[in-house]
Structure 1
Amino acid sequence: ADIPDGNDAVIQVKGVLYNDVNDNGQKDSDELPISGIKVSNGIDILVTDKSGQFLFEMPIDNTRCIFPIIPAQYDVPGNTYAYIDYRKGSEQSISIGLRERSEPPPKQFTIVQISDVHVAKRSYNLTKIIEDIHEINELDPAPALVLSTGDLVNNGNVLAQYHVYLTAMKALNSPLINIIGNHDYDIWDFERSDGRLDRTKHWEQLIGPRYFSFDFGDYHILCLDSFNYNHVQKAWVEKDLSLIPKGQPILVYKHNLPTKEQLDFLAGYNTKAIFSGHWHGTREARYKDIININSAPLGFGGIDLAARGFRTIHIDGDSITFDYRVGGVEKHLAVVSPPSGSTLPQGQIPIVVNAYDTGTQVEQVAATIHDVDRPHAATPHSQPLRQAGNWSWFGHDDFSGVGAKLIEIVVHDVHGEQWRTWSEFRIDEKSGIKIEPGEDWPMFLADPRNTGIAKDAIHTPLALAWATYSGGTINMGSPVISGGKLYIGTLFTHKFDECGVTCLDARTGELLWRAKTDSSIKNSPCIGDGVVYAASVAGTLYAFDTETGSAIWTMPLGSDVVTHWDTYAPKFVDGIVYAGRGYFAAFDGKTGTELWKAKAMARQFLPTIYASPVIAGNKIYFSSHRGLYALDRNTGKRLWEVKRSLTLKASSSLPILLDGKLLCQYGGVMTAFDPETGQVLWKKLSESGHSTEGEKTPSATAAEDLGQAYAGDDTGRMIAFSAQNGQILGSFSVEKGIASIRPYQRNERTIISSPVVTGDLVIFGSTDGYIYLLDRSTMKERQKIYIGAPIASSPAISGNALFIAAYDGNVYAFAAAVPH
């Protein structure tokens, strides 16, 4: 047949669907045709006749693939389709094989979502991808499917990247389904692309159709192309859903977050959940009855400081539950309390253990106490610990006898393996630990200028007074304190019940109340006039009564915007709450009435704003991914702006106001600006030539009396700067992180926690699991405390106590032991 010519040309494709019994991809003479199965070319949907045959007429300017809509009684291999090359003629014949399942379709099963693998992104190579795949292979139960939601490669025009991806995925033990992302296009700058076919040839040759569907168990699974969701694909989706049984539950997988139009359309069906990637972060929200889930990259830290990893989705009939597995953590076991080498007071001492493995669930943890000084006089006694969240296990023991003790921890995982560790410590009858709250710490970094300077001074060495599970995961959110009570925002890991604001008694750690929110509270809350304010990633500003946790009012922060999220940490000053989501606004603290709203600060490409604004006099200063801005505090009028280029180094560091200068991590460099004009006064790289901040590590604070500022750089060092001229005064290095949280990095040293200053100490946490207390004049270590979970939260100081949160979801309180 002739080769078709012109955009209006049509290819006639005759095909047969057959039962591929031996799974060799070829129709053998004894393999029977399959009738009554839906088959599609991405435009039309046909049903195979009694001979298993079908006939398509395909316009060459739209699609190259023909694929069956696989019923639940057949296996779902990743590449069941036929690629149509129009150069082979205007009349072609194909055959597509399916294989019947050896057992009935499952009612209970697990799906793993991976996303944004980005082969050739930095140093993410074949070996490292296979390392991550092996963690998925370790899951028990094994996943029935793995769905990769786009950006398999970094450049779809480079065939070698596809070959690396496909080679790595051969290590996967579960069937793999791939969804196309923008980077997978041959040309993904749409403004420079002509037509449609030139953009997806490599994908369709090597991976499969751009959009498709299949049945698994009782569910219909719809896989979409987010970046060319044109009228042809829309029409196909409508046809596809019109042919499924009414009320059949639907799961949708796509690369980008769904638009409001897509959500409204899918809400007309029994759509249970939509899963996406693209933004390199985590976000969970509800839209009507749909759960809208966005997941972080498999192999490197997320833009919103989400840890690298993958999402598990557990299906049991109509029930869907979730878990986010932090990648790269192998049999991690740490005794938080009682810490090794410590001396502790007699009495009730908390036992806190962190135990985590990416691919293996921990089933139980037990603690055995040994009396080292009297090994024969005292019989060791054991107790099971109770689980709290994904990482932590809690207990307590009454240590009445003084002297040397040893606590042995034994972990049992689902594979039947045991992990062990121990801690040696001493009991001293002459001391005790008691929290005495003092000055309030009502907002992130204590005050409107983000100085992080405590009015109270604490003394070393510190010991754990209490630890309390907050009810959800905690990432960069930090505790705030008022009137002897502590408040913290929490994140989604398994369910929406984990999202909210938790209030604890700062003296004892006792849970006082917990208020639920519509989605995760990633940033720190703030307190003013008996109200705690918090902003959710779904775009809602909440006001809760500090005493009861009851909601006083809520206000939308652009919650109709569903395709990205960029929420500022709120600030409260003089009865007004300042917050925003891709814009900035002022709200009456008592009523929630919007007082003014600043125009959107250009297009917010990246999904989260880490920065908390600086408020001083009649000005508000804040940074975004597009620049540094000054607004009139009373009107919202823009006074000046300093634009930055849209690069991934253009981070949203929080600004600080110190010594008459506005200090900010600008484009990866510590920079001082004139607060009146925005003029650059000085800028400074770290002494190693590495940029402070690196890629969006929001770490900075100040020490006013010494004229010093502190910030982390992209090698995991905390650096002291002179506010006068940017001179580097000293530095301190942390260890490699327990998990990869820093954007685009893997197995890195990272400081995300903003340091605070109390007395002669500068204090911060690190993703290596330690809290560091440094002498701020020398930057030498005074004490370090091991939590054994990544710390992105910043400390709060009140009275004699240090309060901090960690990725394990716990809030920790430390104070110096005092004589009885």
Structure 2
Amino acid sequence: MRIAVKLTCVGLAALVTGCSSLNPFASKAAPRNPPAALEDFKQTLAVRTAWTASVGDAGTFVFSPAVAGNSVFAAAADGTVTRIDAKSGRPAWRINAGAPLTAGVGSDGNTVAVATEKGVLLAFDSDGKLRWKAQASSEILSAPAVGQGVVVVRSVDNRIAAYDAETGTRRWTVQRSSPPLTLRSAPGIAIGGTSAYVALPGGRLLALALSNGGPRWEVAVGDPRGTTELERIADLSGTPFIAGRDVCAVAYQGRVACFDATSGTARWGKDLSSEVGVAADERNVYAADERGAVTAFARDTGSGVWRNNKLANRRLSSPVVMNRALAVGDGQGYIHFLSREDGAFLARVPSDGSRVIAAVPLTDTGAVFQTQAGTVVAFATE
């Protein structure tokens, strides 16, 4: 397993003996399995760089940009938060939050939320002015989810809390237990309709009512298996993906699965281990596994459609759908464009040479990528 061990007590968020988590974003020694060499191929998809911006280094954390309306919001470990025009790439404003940050940006265009290393949730208005701050119960590693008038976060003690987007008043909290050993990763929260879909350690996906935090359903995506706590890690990875009436998710050492977003009824599930999230379109669900294979599953049945295993050990990012392509970044800063039809390579473009840690759709034909070194770049397909 290519992850460094860092002791931390998940329940108390303090360094003590008896609880631990694994940090897949910490500095790593030379890999046992070197990344696969990049094969030459004839590029058949035109990809252009729409714009590039620099926001700052991510350090050991995962910083994902947020797209809302005509703006892209991005942040860095040193406290930088910036709003970028989604068409031109020009910064509308750039501020410093006044404290180091640990999670990417959540925004609905009106409220911009980030979290500091001491678990303080900061909310800014659309002009970058501080609106409010609130103290969470412990450190926050995944981007806040903003929508329907609330800001929802999950802290590492597995407490989910919702705050009023205008005032910062805490509306509700939900506590879930944590397994003895977890990945120190950034499982996210997706807001769809009147529900928040929360990815949890232990392989659970939880749907909560945004109005009061009431549980609507809870399902297992990755069931812990094995004889040791290390073998039994099955934490959800990335952010759940809402596709129409479905919500899909993937777990480390678990499964990729889709569920009815209203009832939680399982559509299907397939064994797969991933450290990053999934993407979907009207026909398929796409997942990049921990070994570097990218697989497409039929969205209605879960049957395998295609599999590309030529990016082995390249530490892939979550995939993102762009026009007729599926784009995925790697640990050396390349973005690979695969055919949504058969997984064949269509194009490849470099970024800044550091790991691509996040990708989010910008338009039907474009997407924004953020690297570990702090480059935010928008690519468009033609």
Q: Residue deviations 1:626-653, cap 9 Å, x none?
A: 1211223333233321113xxxxx3233
C-alpha contact 1:457 1:758 (8 A) present in aligned 2: no
Q: Residue deviations 1:23-58, cap 9 Å, x none?
A: xxxxxxxxxxxxxxxxxxxxxxxxxxxxxxxxxxxx
Instruction: Provide the C-alpha distance between the structure 2 equivalents of 1:594 and 1:568, rounded to a whole number of angstroms.
Output: 18
Could you say which structure has the higher strand fraction? 2
Shift of 1:545: 0.6
C-alpha contact 1:441 1:482 (8 A) present in aligned 2: no
2:337 match: 720
C-alpha contact 1:718 1:732 (8 A) present in aligned 2: yes
- Over the residues paired in the alignment, what is the CA RMSD in angstroms? 3.7
Paired amino acid for 2:277 = L
- Within-5 A mapping of 1:177-576: 280-281=5-6, 283=8, 287=12, 292=16, 303-307=23-27, 438=69, 458-460=86-88, 462-463=90-91, 465-469=93-97, 471-474=99-102, 477-490=103-116, 492=117, 498-507=118-127, 509-559=128-178, 561-564=179-182, 568-576=187-195
Shift of 1:556: 0.8
CA shift in 2, pair 1:441/1:575, >3 Å: farther
Q: Residue deviations 1:230-272, cap 9 Å, x none?
A: xxxxxxxxxxxxxxxxxxxxxxxxxxxxxxxxxxxxxxxxxxx
Q: Residue deviations 1:370-400, cap 9 Å, x none?
A: xxxxxxxxxxxxxxxxxxxxxxxxxxxxxxx
1:730 match: 347
Question: TM-score, normalised to structure 2's length?
Answer: 0.73
* Bigger Rg, which one: 1
Q: Residue deviations 1:575-626, cap 9 Å, x none?
A: 1222133212222211112222214621174485332112234322111011
C-alpha contact 2:144 2:189 (8 A) present in aligned 1: yes
Q: Is residue 638 from structure 1 mapped to residue 266 from structure 2 by the alignment?
A: yes
Query: Which of 224, 241, 248 in structure 2 is aligned with 1:621?
Result: 248
1:803 match: none
2:32 match: none
Instruction: Provide the C-alpha distance between the structure 1 equivalents of 2:85 and 2:363, rounded to a whole number of angstroms.
Output: 5
Shift of 1:535: 0.8
Instruction: Provide the C-alpha distance between the structure 1 equivalents of 2:344 and 2:9, rounded to a whole number of angstroms.
Output: 43
Shift of 1:707: 2.0
Larger relative contact order, structure 1 or 2 (CA cutoff 8 Å, min sep 6): 2
CA shift in 2, pair 1:721/1:524, >3 Å: same
Task: Determine helix, strand or coil for the equivalent of 1:731.
Answer: strand
C-alpha contact 2:236 2:249 (8 A) present in aligned 1: no
Instruction: Provide the C-alpha distance between the structure 2 equivalents of 1:768 and 1:483, rounded to a whole number of angstroms.
Output: 25
2:302 match: 678
Q: Is residue 589 from structure 1 mapped to residue 215 from structure 2 by the alignment?
A: no
C-alpha contact 2:12 2:138 (8 A) present in aligned 1: no
Q: Which moved more, 1:525-534 or 1:755-764?
A: 755-764
Shift of 1:279: 6.3
Instruction: Provide the C-alpha distance between the structure 2 equivalents of 1:707 and 1:752, rounded to a whole number of angstroms.
Output: 22
Instruction: Provide the C-alpha distance between the structure 2 equivalents of 1:764 and 1:600, rounded to a whole number of angstroms.
Output: 27
Instruction: Provide the C-alpha distance between the structure 1 equivalents of 2:55 and 2:345, rounded to a whole number of angstroms.
Output: 38
Q: Residue deviations 1:664-690, cap 9 Å, x none?
A: 1134212111011111101124xxx33
CA shift in 2, pair 1:665/1:281, >3 Å: farther
Task: Determine helix, strand or coil for the equivalent of 1:702.
Answer: strand
C-alpha contact 1:700 1:710 (8 A) present in aligned 2: yes
Instruction: Provide the C-alpha distance between the structure 2 equivalents of 1:617 and 1:543, rounded to a whole number of angstroms.
Output: 24
Paired amino acid for 2:190 = K
Q: Which moved more, 1:597-606 or 1:571-580?
A: 597-606
Task: Determine helix, strand or coil for the equivalent of 1:720.
Answer: strand
CA shift in 2, pair 1:595/1:700, >3 Å: same
Paired amino acid for 1:586 = A
Shift of 1:292: 3.8
1:330 match: none
Q: Residue deviations 1:731-769, cap 9 Å, x none?
A: 1123444xxxxxxxxxxxx11121433486543121233
Instruction: Provide the C-alpha distance between the structure 2 equivalents of 1:711 and 1:680, rounded to a whole number of angstroms.
Output: 19
Instruction: Provide the C-alpha distance between the structure 2 equivalents of 1:593 and 1:461, rounded to a whole number of angstroms.
Output: 40
Q: Is residue 653 from structure 1 mapped to residue 279 from structure 2 by the alignment?
A: no
C-alpha contact 1:571 1:612 (8 A) present in aligned 2: yes
Task: Determine helix, strand or coil for the equivalent of 1:753.
Answer: strand
Instruction: Provide the C-alpha distance between the structure 1 equivalents of 2:104 and 2:12, rounded to a whole number of angstroms.
Output: 28
- Within-5 A mapping of 1:89-128: none
CA shift in 2, pair 1:282/1:574, >3 Å: farther
Instruction: Provide the C-alpha distance between the structure 1 equivalents of 2:292 and 2:28, rounded to a whole number of angstroms.
Output: 22
2:374 match: 769
CA shift in 2, pair 1:761/1:622, >3 Å: closer
Structure 2 residues not aligned, in runs of 5+: 30-53, 60-67, 74-83, 225-230
CA shift in 2, pair 1:763/1:589, >3 Å: closer
Instruction: Provide the C-alpha distance between the structure 2 equivalents of 1:567 and 1:775, rounded to a whole number of angstroms.
Output: 27
Shift of 1:295: 8.4
Structure 1 residues not aligned, in runs of 5+: 1-120, 123-277, 297-301, 310-351, 358-436, 443-455, 493-497, 645-649, 738-749, 778-820
CA shift in 2, pair 1:281/1:304, >3 Å: farther
- Within-5 A mapping of 1:31-46: none
Instruction: Provide the C-alpha distance between the structure 1 equivalents of 2:106 and 2:299, rounded to a whole number of angstroms.
Output: 27
C-alpha contact 2:321 2:361 (8 A) present in aligned 1: yes
Percent of pairs with identical residues: 18
Paired amino acid for 2:132 = W
Shift of 1:694: 3.2
Shift of 1:516: 1.2
CA shift in 2, pair 1:680/1:759, >3 Å: closer
C-alpha contact 2:4 2:23 (8 A) present in aligned 1: yes
1:95 match: none
Task: Determine helix, strand or coil for the equivalent of 2:201.
Answer: coil
Question: TM-score, normalised to structure 1's length?
Answer: 0.36
Task: Determine helix, strand or coil for the equivalent of 1:611.
Answer: strand
CA shift in 2, pair 1:510/1:598, >3 Å: same
CA shift in 2, pair 1:281/1:612, >3 Å: farther
Q: Is residue 669 from structure 1 mapped to residue 293 from structure 2 by the alignment?
A: yes
Instruction: Provide the C-alpha distance between the structure 1 equivalents of 2:330 and 2:97, rounded to a whole number of angstroms.
Output: 31
Instruction: Provide the C-alpha distance between the structure 2 equivalents of 1:587 and 1:484, rounded to a whole number of angstroms.
Output: 23
C-alpha contact 1:620 1:630 (8 A) present in aligned 2: yes
